[in-house]
Amino acid sequence: MKQARSKNVGITVFIILLLTPVYWLLNMSFKTNQEILGGLTMWPENFTLQNYVVIFTDPSWYNGYLNSMAYVTINVIITLLVALPAAYAFSRYKFLGDKHLFFWLLSNRMAPPAVFLLPFFQLYSSIGLFDTHIAVALAHCLFNVPLAVWILEGFMKGVPREYDEMAYIDGYSFPKFFVKVFLPMIRSGIGVTAFFAFMFSWVELLLARTLTSVDAQPIGAIMTRTIGASGIDWGVLAAAGVLTIIPGLLVIWFVRNHVAKGFALGRV
Amino acid sequence: MDKIPNNRAWWLVLPVFLLVAFSALIPLMTVVNYSVQDIFGPGQAYFVGTEWFKEVLTDERLQDSLLRQFLFSSAVLLIQIPLGIGVALMMPKSGIKGSLCLILVAIPLLIPWNVVGTIWQIFARGDIGLFGWGINQLGVDYNYTGSTVDAWLTVLLMDVWHWTPLVALLCYSGLRAIPEAFYQAAEIDRASKWAVFRYIQLPRLKSVLIIAVLLRFMDSFMIYTEPFVLTGGGPGSSTTFLSQTLTTMAIGQFDLGRAAAFSLIYFLIVLLISWLFFTAITHADKEQ
């Protein structure tokens, strides 16, 4: 029992330390700039929602969130659509060059995004996709698709092939079997994959910023604009930061029971 | 499970292949193309062979940032791996407390990287940040925008804060996969806590630890956004890591040939070291 208690204390201390910077951001987002610059207060003395009002009423602010959401959603959809059949093929069949293909896919996860910066910029400019959501979504496929294939393959391997065979005997065609029988069986795998694809696309900024200028600018790039003539608008910056954390929290809440399995496969 | 040989499976893989080829092969070929040319403008390019590579390899600025990068990545691995294992061992095994811990620990991972930079930019400031203010209050002269050492420590601390949760979550799920019977056997043998860790938990964690080490190495080697927002690479160039050097060169100075040669060398270093790690670990695995 004593041991369990010291463990509890340890993990509580760790989580408190982990959340302190986030608490500070949240704290600042409810303060006025005068209070922020006037001295340290552990709790907002003049509680204000003004910083959030600024973001929700100014289109140049909230469009950043909409842009980020748009390319992340497109990316997750594309990723799942192409990765599901491919993962099925890798988990069920042997085919020419399968192992090489698999490792080549994974090696893209190791490529520093900075390496692809300039070629991406030119590639998407030359085909007229610069500053569109689809360009960022496609660019993020570079690391999300290999990851998705890898995670899904792990989940699909856990489904015995007898199911496939039984479905054929029952007269299911392949597409019908895949959608009606197979996909429901790996629901949690799809959820976990969508979570990771969402997460890595949501947090990435280098490519997203380089491939956009006005119309599809992500919130991360817009946040740099709070540095105005009168210095940095700390309160609005903090509020914008707080709002970027919320989507991630919502998504992880939905997959909380499955996400440990995704990690257990070691496929992140 | 036996796999059936079937070359028609290529049709299922084809979309992935095309998509990744489009977003990886074409850009990579562009980089290779630039790296052997000197480009002055549209239509004005001259073949220069391996000149850029020679220049890049002897450039002191790049060697400096490479050295900084190695120091940073080693420090990251040395701190985060043991700390992550420790946290995983402390996390409650199941139930609502387990889920809650999982989500709370995962929070730093869900924050966009530039916001991570912003959070620490605010948090570590001496005038408006809790952390910087607290340290100054203790009588230590701390200023991450002025002092090289402080800037380094802040970037490192930020990375520990940001990524230790990933190591912890990987290890946590690895630990949960150990059957209860193992612990019961250890209890009958009156194994010490250390023995349980050394002979039961650690060997079982090996596969997730391989992934953790690889991921942390790769990602810390590519770090860009967080230090860029926090310190902007300064003071001087003390926290300018490889990605930032490359980005400045490619987008800032538009020095295409040099940046391309640098990109290829950079990519090869990451691939080579990841491969070395991987073979070293799997080799040690076989010998046991």
Question: Min CA distance, A218 vs chain B (Å)?
Answer: 11
- A100 touching B (Cβ < 8 Å): no
Quick one: average pLDDT of B31-50? 74
- What digits encode the pLDDT tens for the residues B223-245? 888 888 888 877 878 888 888 88
ipTM, two decimals: 0.83
pLDDT of residue A260: 67
Q: Which residues of chain A have a CB within 8 Å of the CB of B274? A: 110
Q: Above pLDDT 70, what percent of chain B?
A: 94
pLDDT of residue A75: 95
* A53 in a structural domain: no
pLDDT at B286 over 70: no
Pairwise CA distance, residues B138 & B135, whole Å: 5
DSSP state of B2: P
Backbone angles phi, psi at A93, to 5 degrees: -120, 155
Does the beta-carbon distance from B27 to A108 stay under 8 Å? no
Same domain as A122, residue A233:
yes
Pairwise CA distance, residues B89 & B37, whole Å: 54
Extract the tokens encoding A111. Answer: 């490529």
Same domain as A157, residue A209:
yes
* A32 in a structural domain: yes
Same domain as A172, residue A131:
yes
pLDDT at B254 over 80: no
Does the beta-carbon distance from A252 to B103 stay under 8 Å? yes
Question: Which of A118, A149, A249, A259 is most worth mutating to test chain B (most B CB atoms within 10 A of its CB)?
Answer: A118
Q: Which residues of chain A have a CB within 8 Å of the CB of B211? A: 266-268
* A176 in a structural domain: yes
- B66 touching A (Cβ < 8 Å): no
Question: Which of B18, B20, B178 is most worth mutating to test chain A (most A CB atoms within 10 A of its CB)?
Answer: B20
Is A155 in contact with A187 (CB distance < 8 Å)?
A: no
pLDDT of residue B158: 92
Quick one: average pLDDT of B90-101? 81
- B134 touching A (Cβ < 8 Å): no
CATH of the domain at A216: 1.10.3720.10
- B31 touching A (Cβ < 8 Å): yes
Same domain as A107, residue A74:
yes
State the average pLDDT for chain B.
83
Quick one: average pLDDT of B75-85? 93
Instruction: Determine the residue of chain B that is closest to A38 in CA distance.
Output: B128
Instruction: Determine the residue of chain B that is closest to A31 in CA distance.
Output: B128
pLDDT of residue B135: 85
Domains of chain B: residue spans and CATH = 70-287 (1.10.3720.10)
- Among A78, A152, A89, A80, residue whose Cα is nearest residue B10: A89
- A145 touching B (Cβ < 8 Å): yes
- Among A121, A120, A113, A18, residue whose Cα is nearest residue B223: A113
pLDDT of residue B73: 92
Same domain as A42, residue A88:
no
Question: Min CA distance, B172 vs chain A (Å)?
Answer: 8
Same domain as A109, residue A21:
no
Is A93 in contact with B10 (CB distance < 8 Å)?
A: no
pLDDT of residue B162: 93
Who among B131, B193, B222 is closest to A113 (CB)?
A: B222
Q: Can you give the pTM of this predicted structure?
A: 0.85
Same domain as A95, residue A32:
no
Backbone angles phi, psi at B191, to 5 degrees: -70, 145
pLDDT of residue B237: 80
- Among A90, A207, A211, residue whose Cα is nearest residue B17: A90
| Dihedral (CA of A126, A127, A130, A134) sign | negative
Same domain as A21, residue A108:
no
Q: Which residues of chain A have a CB within 8 Å of the CB of B256? A: 118
Same domain as A250, residue A131:
yes
Higher pLDDT, B99 or A14: A14
pLDDT of residue A265: 61
Same domain as A114, residue A193:
yes
* A19 in a structural domain: yes
Same domain as A136, residue A26:
no
pLDDT of residue B86: 92
- What digits encode the pLDDT tens for the residues B56-71? 788 888 888 888 999 9
Count of residues for chain B? 288
Q: Which residues of chain A have a CB within 8 Å of the CB of B247? A: 114, 117, 206
- List C-alpha distances in Å: B228 to A82, B2, B239: 34, 49, 9
A233: Cα separation from own chain's centroid: 27
Does the beta-carbon distance from A146 to B20 stay under 8 Å? yes
Is A260 in contact with B176 (CB distance < 8 Å)?
A: yes
- A261 touching B (Cβ < 8 Å): yes
A120: Cα separation from own chain's centroid: 20
Is A91 in contact with A151 (CB distance < 8 Å)?
A: no
Same domain as A111, residue A65:
yes
- B223 touching A (Cβ < 8 Å): no
Who among B1, B120, B207 is closest to A157 (CB)?
A: B1
- A81 touching B (Cβ < 8 Å): yes
| Residue reference for tokens 């992550």 | B84
- What digits encode the pLDDT tens for the residues B9-34? 888 888 988 888 888 888 888 888 88
pLDDT in tens, chain A (268 residues): 556 778 888 888 999 999 999 998 898 888 888 787 777 777 887 788 888 988 888 888 888 899 999 999 999 999 999 999 999 998 888 888 888 888 788 778 777 887 788 888 888 888 888 888 999 999 999 889 988 888 888 888 888 888 888 888 888 888 888 888 888 888 888 888 888 899 889 988 888 888 888 888 888 888 876 555 556 788 888 888 899 899 888 888 888 777 766 666 655 5
- List C-alpha distances in Å: A76 to A79, A82, A144, A147, A189: 5, 10, 8, 12, 14
The count of domains in chain A is 2
- What digits encode the pLDDT tens for the residues B139-195? 888 888 788 888 888 999 999 999 999 899 888 888 887 888 888 888 888 888 888
Per-residue confidence at B85, pLDDT binned at 50, 70, 90?
Answer: very high
DSSP-H helix ranges across B124-201: 130-137, 148-176, 180-188, 193-196
Does the beta-carbon distance from B13 to A85 stay under 8 Å? yes
pLDDT of residue A266: 52
pLDDT at B222 over 90: no
B44 DSSP β-pair partners: B41
> How many contacts, defined by CB atoms under 8 Å, are there between A and B?
279
Q: Which residues of chain A have a CB within 8 Å of the CB of B275? A: none
- B110 touching A (Cβ < 8 Å): yes
Q: Which residues form the domain of A150?
A: 58-264
Per-residue confidence at B42, pLDDT binned at 50, 70, 90?
Answer: low
- What digits encode the pLDDT tens for the residues B198-219? 888 888 888 778 878 888 888 8
Question: Min CA distance, A71 vs chain B (Å)?
Answer: 14
* A260 in a structural domain: yes
